[in-house]
A and B are shown apart, each in its own frame.
Chain A
Amino acid sequence: MMSRTGSSDPSDRFEYLQTLVTEFQDTDSEEAKEQVLANLANFAYDPSNMEHLRELQVADLFLDMLTEENDNFVEFGMGGLCNLSMDPECRHVILESGGIGLVTNCLSSRREETVLSAVTTLMNLLTPSSRSEITDPAILQCMLRFSLSQSPRLRGLAAVFLQDCCTEAQVARAQRQMQGEQTAVGIPLPGNGDLTDEVR
């Protein structure tokens, strides 16, 4: 029987992904955009799509989402980046596009998934050249606060970050600094309601 090959056709996959990107850009429906965005972000979980997504500049698309008003856009975009940043090439693209700053801002999100994705992404983005930026005292202080969070997942990720991404000396310095002046990284802006959310 002909053509029932097990191998996938890369051009079909690429076209499909391209369709999604086009859809995202063309549609006016917020809901449709969310779905497509989630779609793309989930595709980014499969390493076999990395190259296509790079070609389609989806990393930039995700990065653009981080400054959107729509919290879903931010969450999905951040999730997509979390997935993509596992790949060294995508990581490079994200770093080149000023990813660290944008991702750091997401640490202040009220959405737990967004924050978790941001922490993971920052860890993924750690390279010899990006290390100093990623271990900025402000970020370390944020991670220290996170390590006291009521959320087990956030506590865990923050702990991994502090253990793996910086030296003990850096952590100690950040702790000392926290006793003095605190920075605002990772603290969500006051909203309409109460601030009895977990310590972020």
Chain B
Amino acid sequence: MAAPARNSSSCWDVPDVYKHHEQQKICISRPKYRDGRKDKAVKVYTINLESRYLMVQGVPAIGVMPELVQLCALYGAVEEYRPLDEYPAEEFTEVYLVKFQKLTSARAAKRRMDEKSFYGGVLHVCYVPEYETVEDTRLKLQDRRRYVVRAVQSKARERKQKEDVNEETTLSNTATTSEAISRRHKTSDNDNTEKTSNISHYTDFPPLPLPPREYNYFLHKNHHETIPTEDKMGTLHNAVIYKKQQQGHSSSSSQTSLGTDTERGLTSSQSSAVVRFVPRTTHLENRKRKLKNAAEHSPTDAAMNNEILIGPKLPEPPKGDMEDESLNTTVSLIRSTMKQVESVPVPKPVEKKLKPRRRI
């Protein structure tokens, strides 16, 4: 199926899929989605899409090239830069090509600079691998392979170490571990009991509750952002930031599964995050799960769940509501009693404490 011909002046709409735009020979395959034909901007990132070369659009044409380069240099050494005069630009803006020494710098710069304001304009930053020389491409692939091999090896080593450590700790600490686990079970189940225990055991530091664990797909935040522009996806490469919600009781398997937020920082040199496109059904399931769990907890826990309790909670100050109607009831009762008392000759002690309330 041939693609429809596109108007060359609408460079912003350049489709990534078909190549009818070749005549310009400039950034035709830059990963920038504005394509209204597609429902969603779903895209897979490979090493072919990334590059040390970045294109920066939307730079206000007020002679700020040095400032731009300085900004780029924050993310790593810049080898070359030049204005791309041949590239169509929006009115009063300029387009620049910036070549970084390292791909990781380009990645960071893209992530940090894209969609940011700069001297009154908004920058659009994307990779432009088409500017690479053959040697650039070769090195890029080689670096990538080496990186992956190293990363996989170190992960394997790390895992092996952890397994060894876990083995040791489980062997020596079985008793205390299970004790701690059962205690945590209790605290995680019902925050109410914990609250009362806080008050009654004022001097004891109760065991800390498990931090909230939620299914919070990273994409939730970024879903709509990724739809209009492909650039976002380049910035969201490798960080997996999600937390998993505990469904009811935690398993007593290993310590690591209890209360650990699986918040993962950005992996080593790749400081950009992955775009997670979670299908709608999964979102729905998550919402259901969240609702269910919210219902499971008692209402008074709502506040507790949101904060991490450190140390004992002070007893709440007594609350006196001066506006309470019951006070007036009391007054009327007292007054009637007083009348009765007055009618009797034998004096009775007046309750001085209960003064009629003065209504302001």
Specify whether A and B are partners: yes
- Say what secondary structure dominates the interface of chain B: loop
Q: Is the CB of A156 within 8 A of B133?
A: yes
Complex interface: chain B residues within 8 A of A116 (CB): 46, 48
A94 to chain B, nearest CB (A): 14
Chain B: CB-nearest residue to A82:
B46
**Residues A45 and B237 in contact in the complex (CB < 8 Å), given A9-B262, A32-B280, A87-B148:** yes
Q: Is the CB of A35 within 8 A of B274?
A: no
In-complex Cβ contact of A41 among B39, B44, B280 (8 A):
B44
The answer to whether B16 has its CB under 8 Å from any CB of chain A is yes
Q: Is the CB of A42 within 8 A of B262?
A: no
The answer to whether A95 has its CB under 8 Å from any CB of chain B is no
Complex interface: chain A residues within 8 A of B20 (CB): 197
Q: Is the CB of B22 within 8 A of A156?
A: no
Complex interface: chain B residues within 8 A of A83 (CB): 44-47
The answer to whether A46 has its CB under 8 Å from any CB of chain B is yes
Size class of B's contact patch? 35 or more
Of B64-72, B74-82, B252-260, B352-360, the one with at least 4 CB within 8 A of chain A: B252-260
Using an 8 Å CB-CB cutoff, how does the interface string of B40-53 with A read, 1 for contact, 0 for none?
10111111110000
Roughly how many angstroms separate A48 CA and B274 CA in the complex, as a whole number? 12
In-complex Cβ contact of A88 among B149, B233, B260, B280 (8 A):
B149
B119 to chain A, nearest CB (A): 31
Roughly how many angstroms separate A171 CA and B237 CA in the complex, as a whole number? 36
**Residues A3 and B238 in contact in the complex (CB < 8 Å), given A29-B279, A152-B25:** no
Roughly how many angstroms separate A39 CA and B148 CA in the complex, as a whole number? 19
The answer to whether A36 has its CB under 8 Å from any CB of chain B is yes
Roughly how many angstroms separate A33 CA and B127 CA in the complex, as a whole number? 27
Using an 8 Å CB-CB cutoff, how does the interface string of B105-135 with A read, 1 for contact, 0 for none?
0000000000000000000000001111110
**Residues A191 and B1 in contact in the complex (CB < 8 Å), given A1-B308, A163-B138:** yes
Using an 8 Å CB-CB cutoff, how does the interface string of B235-277 with A read, 1 for contact, 0 for none?
0011010101000000000001111111111010010001111
- Which residues of A from 145 to 200 have beta carbons under 8 Å from B? 150-153, 156-157, 159-160, 163-164, 191-194, 197-198
The answer to whether B208 has its CB under 8 Å from any CB of chain A is yes
Chain B: CB-nearest residue to A150:
B22
Q: Is the CB of A15 within 8 A of B258?
A: no
Roughly how many angstroms separate A123 CA and B42 CA in the complex, as a whole number? 26
The answer to whether B322 has its CB under 8 Å from any CB of chain A is no
Chain A: CB-nearest residue to B20:
A197
Complex interface: chain A residues within 8 A of B238 (CB): 45-46
B238 to chain A, nearest CB (A): 4
Roughly how many angstroms separate A29 CA and B257 CA in the complex, as a whole number? 33
The answer to whether A79 has its CB under 8 Å from any CB of chain B is yes
The answer to whether B211 has its CB under 8 Å from any CB of chain A is yes
Complex interface: chain B residues within 8 A of A13 (CB): 240, 262, 264
Complex interface: chain B residues within 8 A of A35 (CB): 40, 42, 277-279
Q: Is the CB of B237 within 8 A of A46?
A: yes
Q: Is the CB of A117 within 8 A of B29?
A: no
The answer to whether A64 has its CB under 8 Å from any CB of chain B is no
The answer to whether A19 has its CB under 8 Å from any CB of chain B is yes
Complex interface: chain B residues within 8 A of A33 (CB): 279
The answer to whether A132 has its CB under 8 Å from any CB of chain B is no
The answer to whether A129 has its CB under 8 Å from any CB of chain B is no
9 cross-chain CB contacts under 8 A: A23-B281, A31-B39, A51-B155, A79-B46, A86-B47, A86-B148, A150-B22, A159-B134, A160-B134
Q: Which residues does B use to contact A, with CB under 8 Å?
A: 1-3, 16-20, 22, 25, 28-29, 39-40, 42-49, 129-134, 136-138, 141, 144-145, 147-149, 151-152, 155-156, 159, 208, 210-211, 233, 237-238, 240, 242, 244, 256-265, 267, 270, 274-282, 308, 310
Known: A8-B262, A31-B40, A45-B237. 7 other contacts (CB 8 A): A11-B257, A35-B279, A39-B277, A45-B238, A116-B48, A152-B132, A160-B137
Q: Which residues does A use to contact B, with CB under 8 Å?
A: 1-13, 15-16, 19, 23, 27, 29, 31-36, 38-39, 41-43, 45-48, 50-51, 72, 75-76, 79-80, 82-83, 86-89, 110-113, 116-117, 120, 123-124, 150-153, 156-157, 159-160, 163-164, 191-194, 197-198
